[in-house]
A = this chain, B = another copy of it.
Amino acid sequence: MGWNGSPAEPAAAPAMRWWGWGAADRAPALPAATVARLRAQLGASGPPCPPVALSQVRLPESTLAAPALAELERVLGRHRVALDHAVRVRHAAGRGYLDLVRLRRGEPEGAPDAVLRVGDHRQVLDVLEVCGRRSVAVVPFGGGTSVVGGVAPLRGRHEAVVALDLAGIAGIEALDRESLTVTVGAGMRVAALERELARQGLTLGHFPQSFEYVSLGGCAATRSAGQASTGYGRFEELVLGLRLATPTGEIELHPTPASAAGPDLRELVMGSEGTLGVIDRLTLRVRERPAAHHYEGWLFPDFESGVAALRRLAQEGLAPAVARLSDREETALTLRLAGTGLKQQAARLYVGARGYRDGCLAILGFEGQAARVAATRKAAKRVLRDQRAIALGGGAGEAWLASRFDGPYLRDELLTHGVMVETLETATVWSSLPSLKAAVADAIAGALAGCGTPGIVGCHVSHLYDSGASLYFTLLARTLPGEAERQWHAVKDAAGAAILDGGGTITHHHAIGRDHAGWLAQEVGASGIAALTAVKRQLDPEGIMNPGKLLA
C-alpha cells in the first residue's frame, strides 16, 4: 500500500475469479471464530457452500448466427472473437449480489453469445455497424465490476448478444503536464492509470472500492465516485473530454475546462451506461501527487454529532479528501470484521474506558501540501471537538487504508458461509439525511425480518458536499436457502421505495444498470425518461446498445 493509499504497484490486474472478486490465489482473511460468531448471530447454519467448478457452469448454446459471426470475425480478426465456455462465463455477469449467487451455483442467467475483444476505435465502430445490421445486442464490458446488473448479457428483442470487451483499448495516449490532463483508452483500468501516473508524480485520485479492476470507461459510463471523491471529485468532474462510438456515428467532445456551448453532452454520455454507445477515449484531469497525507480515526458519541461535524467540515471548506462516518451498527461490525490487530484492540479498550462503547467511528484522510494539511487538520480538530469527538489517532486511519478495497473479498467469504451481504447507497441534502438514513435502515431491517432472516444493517456517511452527503448501507443476513432472489428483491424494493420517498437519489455512485431501472422514472419523471429515450432512439435506432439497462 503506497503512502497515499494507492496500491504500490499491484500486479497488473490479475484475472478475476470467475465466480467472485479478486485473484484466484487470494486467501480467505476472516478468522474462523469471527465467521462462527457472525453466523450464530444471524442464525446461519449448514456447511460451507463453495462455488461449483468452472466446468460445471451451465451456459446456453451461443445463438450468434453464422453470418453475423463471420462478419464479426472478418472485421476484427478471428483471434478477437471468443466463443469458448470459460471466456463466456467470465463475461456472463457483473459483481452484484445476485450475480455472485448465481455464478457460484453454476447457473448464471445467461451469457454473451460471443466475446469481442476490440483493439481500437475503428473496430468498435465496425462491430456496432455489423451488430446493428445483424440484430445483435452489444454489452460494453470494461472491468465487469457492475453491482447493479450493468453488464448482464441481455439481448432485448435481438437474436443474440455479445460482450464488447474493451481491455484492449487501453494506455496513455497523451499526457499534458502543463494543463494536468491525460488522454487514455477507456478500457484502461483505473489502477493501471494510477500506477502510470505515480511514475510521473501525478495522481487521478479516483479510488472506488472496485479500484483494482474497474475500467476508466466504466467509471465514466456509470458516474463513479471514489472513496476520496470529497477531495478529488466524482469521476464526472475529472472528465474533460471523451469519445463515444455509437451505432450511428461518434460523438467526440474535445477537452475543455468549461463551456457554455449548449447542454453539456459530456454529462449526457456520462451515466449512459452503454445504452447510447461505447466510450472508448477519455481526457481526464490529473493532479500533482499530494506531498502530505494524514489518515486518522475519530470516535463520536453518536451518529448525529458525527453528521453535524462532517457537515461543518464540508461547509467550512475543511473537508478532507476522505471522510467517512459509520453509524453505531457499522462501527461495531467494522471492529468485529477488522480482526484482532493490536490497534483495533487498543482502540476498543480506550473507547470502552471513556464511555464511547456505542460510539460512531469516523475516518478522515487529509491529503495535500504539508502546510495546508496541517492548517486544515488544526481547524478541523476544533470542529470535531465541538461535537465531542475523540481522536483514535493515525493507526485507525492507516488500518482503514490498508483494508479499503477488502469489502468484495469479505463478501465472497461470507457468501461461502451462508451469509448474504449487500450494499446500497443514496445521497441527499443535509437536512434530510437523518430521516432518510433512519427510513432506509428501517425498511431494510423490516424487509429482512419479513423474510424470516433478521439481519444487521449498518450505514456510513461519505462523499461530502456543501449541500449534503451520500449514505451507504451494508446489510448482512443469513441467506434464505433456495430463495436468495426473493430475499434480495424484498430488500431492494423496500430500500428503493424508502430512498425515493425520503428525498434521496436512487443511486449516488452504483448507477442504474438493470437493478434500479424501475426507479429511474420516479426520479426524473416521465418527460425525463422521454428525453433520454429520444436520444437513445437517435443514436441507437436498432436498440442494440446494452438493452434492459437504464431505460428498461
A residues with CB within 8 A of B? 176, 178-181, 222-225, 234, 236, 240, 246, 248-273, 285, 287-288, 311, 315-317, 368-369, 371-372, 375, 379, 427-432, 463, 465-470, 503-512, 516, 519-520, 523-528, 530-535, 537-539, 550
Contact = CB atoms under 8 A, between A and B. Distances in A.
Contact of A265 (B287, B369, B524, B539): B524
A459 B538 CA distance: 40
B267 A268 contact: yes
Given A262-B273, A262-B511, A268-B268, 12 more contacts: A179-B468, A236-B264, A256-B468, A257-B428, A258-B427, A258-B465, A260-B507, A261-B519, A263-B268, A285-B467, A531-B535, A533-B538
Contacts of A431: 176, 178-179
Ranked 5 nearest A-B pairs via Cβ: A267-B267, A257-B465, A257-B468, A534-B538, A179-B429
A5 to B, nearest CB: 19
B317 A372 contact: yes
B467 A181 contact: yes
Contacts of A222: 260
A257 B267 CA distance: 15
Given A311-B178, A503-B254, A259 B508 contact: yes
A432 B181 CA distance: 12
A508 B259 CA distance: 4
A422 to B, nearest CB: 17
Contacts of A287: 315, 466
Contacts of A519: 261
Interface centre among A180, A285, A368, A526 (most CB of B within 10 A): A180
B257 A520 contact: no
Which applies to chain A's interface (DSSP): helix, strand, loop or mixed? mixed
B538 A530 contact: yes
Contact of A429 (B257, B266, B470): B257
Copies of this chain, tallied across the complex? 2
A533 B262 CA distance: 12
B531 A251 contact: yes
B523 A181 contact: no
A245 to B, nearest CB: 10
A267 B263 contact: yes
A228 to B, nearest CB: 14
A261 B470 CA distance: 13
Nearest to A262: B271
Nearest to A148: B260
Contacts of A257: 427-429, 465-470
Contacts of A248: 527, 530
Contact of A260 (B469, B510, B525, B528): B510
B467 A255 contact: yes
B511 A260 contact: yes
Given A317-B368, A317-B369, A261 B467 contact: no
Contact of A532 (B250, B260, B263, B379): B263
A180 B259 CA distance: 26
Contact of A240 (B467, B469, B534): B467
10 contacts: A178-B431, A224-B260, A249-B530, A251-B531, A256-B427, A260-B507, A260-B509, A262-B273, A262-B524, A262-B550
A468 B257 CA distance: 6
Contacts of A179: 429-432, 467-468
Which among A259, A260, A505 has the highest number of chain B CB atoms within 10 Å?
A260
Contacts of A429: 176, 178-179, 181, 240, 255-257
Nearest to A178: B431
Contact of A525 (B234, B251, B255, B526): B251
Given A179-B429, A535-B535, A270 B261 contact: no
A258 B271 contact: no
A550 B262 CA distance: 7
Given A179-B431, A224-B260, A285-B466, A537 B534 contact: yes
Contact of A271 (B223, B225, B263, B379): B263
A263 B259 contact: no
B264 A270 contact: yes
Which of A465, A467, A533 has the most chain B CB atoms closer than 10 A to its own CB?
A467
B272 A263 contact: yes
A262 B258 contact: no
Contact of A531 (B430, B469, B538): B538
A525 B244 CA distance: 11
A242 to B, nearest CB: 11
A263 B270 contact: yes
Contact of A463 (B236, B258, B470): B258
A250 B527 contact: yes
B267 A264 contact: yes
A514 B466 CA distance: 36
Contact of A256 (B181, B271, B505): B505
Contacts of A261: 271, 505-507, 511-512, 516, 519-520, 523-524
A519 B261 CA distance: 9
A523 B465 CA distance: 31
